[in-house]
């Protein structure tokens, strides 16, 4: 399957970016309790996931921490597959650095079946070295997509090029 157009944004910029990118689909990854942005797209084309940007699992941090879980990853994969190749998918989290780049890798890997193509997709979207895909999300996606550690390795390569300063917006 060919990839749809994909872009990254931040919570602060998503409303503006959805218009300028002409997004047909939006994936919002927010902290628990955070309100989803109001966007001018059909509700069925807006997937909102709530979890913290952590790499630990349940019971490995404070009780109030809600880590990404397998169900979150499965819904991201289903959302990507349902969108189709003609979609324009805008992905955002709070800062556009960890959860949303991980989601881009997951979307691209789910649609191509290739960790290498997913890595190339994220590098094309963000050629700067400013992202650090969430390792827990990537590990779960790697298992669900049966990529045998290749998606984890791709994320590790991307993380190894990360500078000290973090980029806040990409695309």
- Say if 133 falls within a structural domain: yes
- Say if 44 falls within a structural domain: yes
- Say if 98 falls within a structural domain: yes
Comparing C-alpha atoms, which of 71, 67, 126 is closest to residue 96?
Answer: 126
- Which tops the pLDDT comparison, 171 or 139? 139
- Say if 150 falls within a structural domain: yes
* Residues sharing a CB contact under 8 Å with residue 22, sequence separation 6 or more, in sequence order: 88
Q: Tens digit of pLDDT for each residue in 31-46?
A: 999 999 999 999 999 9
Give the range of the structural domain holding residue 39, as residue numbers without chain letter.
5-160
- Which tops the pLDDT comparison, 121 or 100? 100
- Say if 10 falls within a structural domain: yes
The total domain count for the chain is 1
Whether residue 61 has pLDDT greater than 70: no
Q: What is residue 26's predicted lDDT score, i.e. its pLDDT?
A: 98
- Say if 35 falls within a structural domain: yes
CATH of residue 83's domain is 3.90.190.10
- Say if 169 falls within a structural domain: no
What would the DSSP string read from start to end of 59-119? TSS-TT-----HHHHHHHHHHHHHH-TT-EEEEEESSSSSHHHHHHHHHHHHHHS-HHHHH
pLDDT-wise least confident of 74-78, 86-90, 113-117, 139-143: 113-117
């Amino acid at each position: 399957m060919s990839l749809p157009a994909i872009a990254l944004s931040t919570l602060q910029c998503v409303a503006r970016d959805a218009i300028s990118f002409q997004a047909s689909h939006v994936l919002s990854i927010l902290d628990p309790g955070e309100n989803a942005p109001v966007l001018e797209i059909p509700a069925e084309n807006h997937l909102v996931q709530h979890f913290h940007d952590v790499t630990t699992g349940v019971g490995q941090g404070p009780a109030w921490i809600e880590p990404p879980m397998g169900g979150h990853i499965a819904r991201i994969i289903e959302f990507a597959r349902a969108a189709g190749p003609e979609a324009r998918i805008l992905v955002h989290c709070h800062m556009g650095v960890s959860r949303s780049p991980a989601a881009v890798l997951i979307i691209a890997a789910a649609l191509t079946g290739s960790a290498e193509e997913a890595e190339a997709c994220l590098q094309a979207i963000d050629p700067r070295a400013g992202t650090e895909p969430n390792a827990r999300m990537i590990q779960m996606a790697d298992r669900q997509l049966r990529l045998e550690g290749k998606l984890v390795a791709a994320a590790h390569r991307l993380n190894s090029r990360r500078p000290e300063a973090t980029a806040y917006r990409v695309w």
